[in-house]
Chains A and B, each alone.
Chain A
Amino acid sequence: MNTEKMTLEPAETRSINPKVFTMWLFIVSILMLFAAFTSAYLVRKAEGNWVEFKLPTLFSYSTVVLILSSISMHFALISAKKDQFNALRISISITFVLGLLFLIMQFYGWIQLVEMNVFFVGNPSGSFVYVFSGLHGLHLVSGLIVLTFALVAAFRFKINAKSLTQIKICSTYWHFLDALWLYLFVFLLINN
């Protein structure tokens, strides 16, 4: 039946779930927000009077943690597709904990910055690092909220091979937040 329905469906309409699509559009708007910030960084840097400093070492470790959380998120999606509920719950929980750990590490990264005498108030080169990591952190908090809903749904058996929309949205958003941080981190590494 499934295949027959596919033939009925037009190629150009309804080929993507509107909710997933909404999430993609939302991602585009976040992407533009950070594109504006990184462009502002480049424009400002080109004008000179720019204080150079090293990024906190903790940022490298936190990046690894975030990548690990993305991997466990992917396992969650795979488990949901196979109806392996225990694996699903464990992987979502691991993702959540790793996300939380990332936020804590980012916070300690800020403390390292302060120890290096790079403050939020001061030369924009430092302020930008706080803005990048702070706003990314804020978005990660929203990611954790989305994850909490998925976690609750997983414990109520609401995520399974036949209803994957929620976990798909959740994992898309999470991978995006991961990629976004990678972009910001690499951007800062190259430009510092």
Chain B
Amino acid sequence: MSTAISTAEEVHTHDHDHDHDHEHHELGFIRTYIFSEDHKTIAKQYLISGILWAFLGGSLSILFRLQLGFPEMSMEWLRPILGGWIDDSGKLDKEFYLAMVTMHGTIMVFFVLTAGLSGTFSNFLIPLQVGARDMASGFINMLSYWFFFLSSVIMFSSLFIETGPASGGWVIYPPLSALPQAMPGSGLGMTLWLTSMTFFIVSSLMGGINYICTIINLRTRGMTFTRMPLTIWSFFFTAVLGLLSFPVLLSAALLLIFDRSFGTSFYLSEIYIQGQALPNVGGSAILYQHLFWFLGHPEVYIVLLPALGMTSEIIATNSRKPIFGYRAMIGSMMGITALAFIVWAHHMFVTGMNPFLGSVFMFLTLIIAVPSAVKAFNYITTLWKGNLVFTPAMLFSIGLVSLFISGGVTGIILGNSALDINLHDTYFVVAHFHLVMGAASFFGLMAGVYHWFPKMFGRMMNKSLGYIHFWFTFVGVYMVFFPMHYIGIAGFPRRYYTFTALGNDSMAAFTDMNMFISIAAIITFSAQAIFAWNFFYSIFKGKIAPANPWNSNTLEWTTPINPEHGNWPGEIPAVYRWPYDYSKPGAPEDFIPQNVPHSATLESNLPEENAEIAREKDIEGLLGAQNESYTH
């Protein structure tokens, strides 16, 4: 035993020297800020890329909202930016309209809400909250960002080619996407889309493998699974979803590439173009939809789960109450993860599916309401009678709960195959998924940025600007998406360039409502400039942050205000309790951080927690083994 301990100490000193070296050995600019292996820097890279993408994706939506809200308007003033995409009569080019909705979807789903959300916060929070010096493999982590960057560059460049970017919708259904003759956007733009997404998938897999490996293997001593913050649980499930579903998208994309570039017939069969029969026989377009939605549906939860995890943490902290139903929260996330893989065909009710099979998928889809409702109730019961602290992060989290419920309720309608066949591909669907997945995840992202900004940059964001940003966004999102339900029930199909020609002008009655939505969208989008200014200004000029600005329990707040690579200058703290000891009766403060042992809080311990005191020595005894794992 004594040898073991002395070896452990040697290892520890060695480790410390190593860290010491690290602090003083200055890495060059390129290794510190560009090709960095530090998870915190990589997270910031993801965040800033995500913000840039969000503004680009958002401005595309403003352009097509202008077209939908003001169909008669002259777009001549956009010619300096869009050039040839404004036709001679001063109208938006019809093909470009399709390209814009496609790129808006692709950018928002993958580049903002997958890479920008999961990439940022999984990278930033996993090592800090589980108590690790960095990711399991810093190098693969760095590679993951640069694959994402390459994918971004390719996707961005596709906006500038003459035939325009991919235009077949973000789901790129063949045969439209498979045949370059079908539309201009199915030419080079589609090739670039597929190339870019291939790199994106590689990047996501590298990231996801790292997240899972870090959570399983690099937790600090005492950090058992049931002491992990819900953020970590949500990142874990997100990574599992990505690991299992992104390869399937890759296989779908590969077969599509073969069809496009090598002449195979996986998805193509008996197609005539301008009277000419194509040679492809024997393919199945529905096959693509099955493969795509096997990713596509889990992707919804890849986008949403991190937002749910982060807001659980933020709501518990700012309600000054333990999270209600910690294990139920984990269980419901686990349930959502499992169900995510067996509901994909509810996107395909109108493909001529056997009605019995449709009922099976309907049943499975409606079961998702159960874990989702558990989460909603747990949020509300956590808020109930709490000492609410309305920070901007808290407001955005409560906003998420609201959007999650109002968007989720329409999910129950759409999950019914009989109702969905009516509403399929209308604005009702657009309203539904923008509320429950788009806006809710975006609110989670914003909540995360406001909450962890002090840890990221060592400075505070301006609170008042945060409130203004929140109220504009919250009211704006509802003003944009709520009326869309009515428009959808009225029968407006999505992705249509114009609706005035539909049904002998019967849709003209909705012109003013479309105008209203467009104005609301412009206001909401403009309000994001407040955030952008607040974000970038505060990075350089914000107030210096205190060590633990929100009096939070999790480990990231035990690091120095500006943590170096390695996160903790000395030993990594041990963990003795769960992360939700807020307002514990008997405790002098209303929070007890995870690294405070039960032996130091005798006045507030519950009887079973006094039994934990005996185990504290065991946890300390793990220090040697933990340090050793970093010397390899």
The finding on whether chains A and B are genuine partners in a shared complex, rather than unrelated, reads yes
Contact B205 A8 (CB under 8 A): no
B334 at interface, CB cutoff 8 A: no
B375 at interface, CB cutoff 8 A: no
Contact B290 A18 (CB under 8 A): no
Question: What residue of chain A has the Cβ atom nearest to residue B264's Cβ?
Answer: A127
Contact B284 A43 (CB under 8 A): yes
Among A14, A29, A49, which residue has its beta carbon within 8 angstroms of that of B625? A14
Chain B contact residue count (CB 8 A cutoff): 54
Question: What residue of chain B has the Cβ atom nearest to residue A13's Cβ?
Answer: B219
Among A4, A14, A37, A43, which residue has its beta carbon within 8 angstroms of that of B629? A14
A122 contact set on B, CB distance < 8 A: 264-265, 282
Among B4, B136, B137, which residue has its beta carbon within 8 angstroms of that of A5? B4
In A24-57, which residues have CB < 8 Å from any B CB? Answer: 25-26, 28-30, 32-37, 39-40, 43-44, 47, 49-51
Contact B243 A28 (CB under 8 A): yes
B213 at interface, CB cutoff 8 A: yes
Contact A18 B217 (CB under 8 A): yes
Contact A47 B246 (CB under 8 A): no
Contact A32 B264 (CB under 8 A): no
Known: A10-B622, A127-B258. A22 touches B247 (CB 8 A): no
A71 at interface, CB cutoff 8 A: no
Stretch at the interface among B79-87, B248-256, B555-563: B248-256
Kindly provide the distance from the CB of B69 to the nearest chain A CB, expressed in whole angstroms.
41
Give the bracket for the number of chain A residues in contact with chain B. 35 or more
Contact B4 A4 (CB under 8 A): yes
B498 at interface, CB cutoff 8 A: no
Contact B209 A25 (CB under 8 A): yes
Known: A10-B221, A14-B629, A25-B209. A44 touches B266 (CB 8 A): yes
Kindly provide the distance from the CB of A50 to the nearest chain B CB, expressed in whole angstroms.
8
Known: A25-B212, A29-B209. A40 touches B218 (CB 8 A): no
Cα A47 to Cα B354 with chains together (Å) = 13
Known: A14-B629, A40-B287. A29 touches B282 (CB 8 A): no
Cα A29 to Cα B266 with chains together (Å) = 22
B235 at interface, CB cutoff 8 A: no
Residue interface mask A138-176, B partner, CB < 8 A = 1: 000000000000000000000000000000000000000
Among B136, B217, B283, which residue has its beta carbon within 8 angstroms of that of A124? B283
Cα A39 to Cα B252 with chains together (Å) = 11
A12 at interface, CB cutoff 8 A: yes
Contact B622 A8 (CB under 8 A): yes
A131 at interface, CB cutoff 8 A: yes
Kindly provide the distance from the CB of A181 to the nearest chain B CB, expressed in whole angstroms.
17
Question: What residue of chain B has the Cβ atom nearest to residue A32's Cβ?
Answer: B247
Question: What residue of chain B has the Cβ atom nearest to residue A125's Cβ?
Answer: B282
Among B266, B282, B626, which residue has its beta carbon within 8 angstroms of that of A14? B626
Question: What residue of chain A has the Cβ atom nearest to residue B1's Cβ?
Answer: A4
A120 contact set on B, CB distance < 8 A: 258, 262, 264
Cα A24 to Cα B265 with chains together (Å) = 34
B291 at interface, CB cutoff 8 A: yes
B294 at interface, CB cutoff 8 A: yes
Residue interface mask A116-143, B partner, CB < 8 A = 1: 0000111110010001000100000000
Kindly provide the distance from the CB of A2 to the nearest chain B CB, expressed in whole angstroms.
9
A16 at interface, CB cutoff 8 A: yes
Contact B282 A22 (CB under 8 A): no
Known: A29-B243, A124-B283. A18 touches B213 (CB 8 A): yes
Contact A8 B217 (CB under 8 A): no
Cα A21 to Cα B215 with chains together (Å) = 12
Given A14-B629, A28-B244, 14 more pairs with CB closer than 8 A:
A4-B3, A8-B4, A8-B625, A9-B622, A14-B626, A18-B214, A29-B205, A32-B247, A39-B291, A50-B282, A121-B265, A122-B282, A127-B266, A135-B254
Q: Which 6 pairs of residues, A with B, have the shortest CB-CB distance?
A: A36-B251, A32-B247, A33-B247, A36-B248, A25-B209, A18-B136
